[in-house]
Amino acid sequence: MKILLLDKNHPLITEQLSAKGFLLDEDFTSSYDDVLKKILDYDGIIIRSRIPIDRNFIEHAKNLKFIARVGAGMENIDCEFAELSGIRLISSPEGNRDSVAEHVLGMLLILMNRLFIASNEVKNGIWKREENRGDELLGKTFGIIGYGNMGKAVAKRLSGFGCKVIFHDILPNLSDEFATQVSLEELKKESDILSLHLPITPETHYLIDEKFISEMEKDFYFVNTARGKNVKTKDLVEAIKNGKVKAAALDVLEYEKSSFENLETKNEDLQFLLNSEKVIVTPHIAGWTTQSKEKLAQVIVDKILIEIV
């Protein structure tokens, strides 16, 4: 079975699959059109986000048996057409859920306790104590939207912080020892903190907009490590300015390229986020640790060996 690797990943993918008799080729630079010219030769592809696997791509890949996405989100793939074409879809959200959960807690603690701001001030000879008084997680209600691998990992990390953790998900009966499932209305009523752990779909595109924010009963902290387009940035910015959103921790932005490698748009709303003391922004690295790189790759290898061989 021949496999084409279209993005750089941990070398264990090549090492372990080669040892099992797979033939692997690497192509980390060819354009979409150049890949199309040779995709007919391959039984499987392993990707991250560099090249979109759309209907046209799949129609050219007549011999493709599987598409393996090293990561969680599958929005770069026409999943419906792939499945109709008999192609197996594999992803590895188990591989970076711990990294995402730690990133959520890290950003939130920095934000609520003004750690980055206070550190920079002291380094510049400014000593402010009252102005940098923090806000505790203890006693707050932490609301999660999306209780899959990432949401559950976040809830588990919160178990030692004295929070009440609630979540909303479209699937029923997901409550566990770490969090209680509630309606979206109840989540909006109770949450002091809101964290997104959703794929990007037509239903979740711009889920967080002016209407949603206005329906939150309390002023709240907002965390997004899911997808930038889950949030209508213009409405989030307005909510930060008027105090409805106390502060925001954003690892993803509406203005990212589809490959997540950089920003494709710059505007006033983005500049506000980058300049505001009430906002922390990181470059889509919540799932990006040394450990997660290896775990993501290992999950992909294990699933290929179990589901495809």
> Which positions are annotated as active-site residues?
227, 256, 284
Q: How far apart are CA 89 and CA 68, in angstroms?
A: 6
Backbone CA torsion sign across 295, 299, 302, 304: negative
What's phi and psi for 249, nearest 5 deg? -115, 115
DSSP letter string over 25-74? EE-SS--HHHHHHHGGG-SEEEESSSS-B-HHHHHH-TT--EEEESSS--
3-state secondary structure of 148: coil
Q: How far apart are CA 249 and CA 161, in angstroms?
A: 18
Q: In degrees, to the nearest 5, what angle opens at C-alpha 287 toward C-alphas 188 and 103?
A: 55
Q: How many CB atoms lie within 10 A of CB 272?
A: 18
Backbone CA torsion sign across 128, 271, 135, 284: negative
User: Nearest to residue 230, comparing CAs of 254, 248, 258?
Assistant: 254
User: Could you give the maximum distance between any two Cα atoms of the chain, in Å?
Assistant: 65
Q: Which alpha helices (DSSP H) does the chain contain, by range?
A: 12-19, 32-38, 55-60, 79-84, 97-112, 115-123, 149-158, 184-190, 210-215, 233-242, 268-275, 290-307
3-state secondary structure of 301: helix
Contact 46, 68 (CB under 8 A): yes
